[in-house]
Amino acid sequence: MKMNPWTLSVLLLLAGPLGADPDWHVEYPDSFCVVEGSTATIPCSFTHPAGLRVKRVVWCHNHEFCQRHVYFGYDSSNVRTDRRFQYLGDHVRNCTLKIIKTEKREAATYRFRFETNGDKYTGPRGVNVRVTDGEVVKVRSSVTDHVVKEGGQVTLTCTSACSFHQLDVHWYRNGHALSDTGPALHLSNLTNDDAGDYTCSLDSSGKKTSAPWSLVVVVDEEKSDWLLPVPVVLVLLAVFLLLLAGLVFAKRSAPGPEHEIVYSEVVG
């Protein structure tokens, strides 16, 4: 297919600077997986020749040059941008984008574009964002057995068909939300209070959680062999106190040497 020079010139103008100029560059992952309903952050950075000032930054999808009449995930010049798309970057080097409560329809190829007072540039490669069902989330453990000794430790990891890129992970024990966040949950110095069913979710509502992973905490027999049961300790303590009280009473009841001397003198 032949392209006339005028059309080619327009396309090159829309794309930005010619050639693979290292001074003009956008860096982001080739693909990105998001679980439906979750919040995820797409890392991104950009560079441009020194001396230029960035006036506008744009995230769009399914368009090569992020021009008009396309869907904008974020546009710094448009106050009506969807609030679920939050720009965490700046106008200097960082172009990170945060997507809140991702929907299935938002699976697409996203590109970042920035416009300066001298030229404009769109990252040509783009990020292929894939949205999957939250049911694929699973809990994996650092131990093979669900039974862990008291005082021990275990690390639980929330895994998914997605490769996690700063995803917000929510953890639950017996259905109650924990304060810990992140793909890994570290539990150390375990007690019986830590026992229960652990689940994770990428949905803050907690409706789409993983299958439960049950943790059982048992007493370490090696450490407890020398320990006596509490009832036995109480009985021994009571016996000791009774013996001590008996000795004190007997000592106070016995006549002392001074009494014996006085008695002998009176009789004599």
Q: What is the pLDDT of residues 183-219, one digit of tens each?
A: 899 999 999 999 999 999 877 666 678 899 999 999 8
The CA distances from residue 59 to 241, 258, 265, in Å, are 80, 105, 116
Looking at 16-20, 56-60, 148-152, 193-197, which range is the least confident one? 16-20
Q: How far apart are CA 119 and CA 17, in angstroms?
A: 7
Q: Dig out the tokens for 64 from the structure.
A: 């090569």
| pLDDT at res. 222 | 63
181 versus 257: the higher-pLDDT residue is: 181
Residue with tokens 């966040």: 181
Q: Residue 195: CA atoms inside 13 Å, Cβ hemisphere, count?
A: 13
Percent of all residues in the chain with a pLDDT value above 90, rounded to a whole number = 38
Q: Mind listing the pLDDT tens digit for each residue in 99-154?
A: 888 888 889 999 999 999 999 999 999 999 988 876 668 899 999 889 999 999 99
Domains of the chain (ranges, CATH numbers)? 9-132 (2.60.40.10), 134-223 (2.60.40.10)
pLDDT at 37 > cutoff 90: no
Indicate the pLDDT class of residue 263, thresholds 50, 70 and 90.
very low
Indicate the pLDDT class of residue 73, thresholds 50, 70 and 90.
confident
pLDDT at 160 > cutoff 70: yes
CA distance from start to end of the chain: 146
DSSP symbol at 94: B
pTM of the model: 0.60
Q: How far apart are CA 152 and CA 66, in angstroms?
A: 54
Candidates 8, 6, 88; CA nearest to 40 is 88
Please report the DSSP string for 188-238 in residue order: -S--GGG-EEEEEESSTTS-SBPPPEEEEEE--HHHHTTPPPHHHHHHHHH
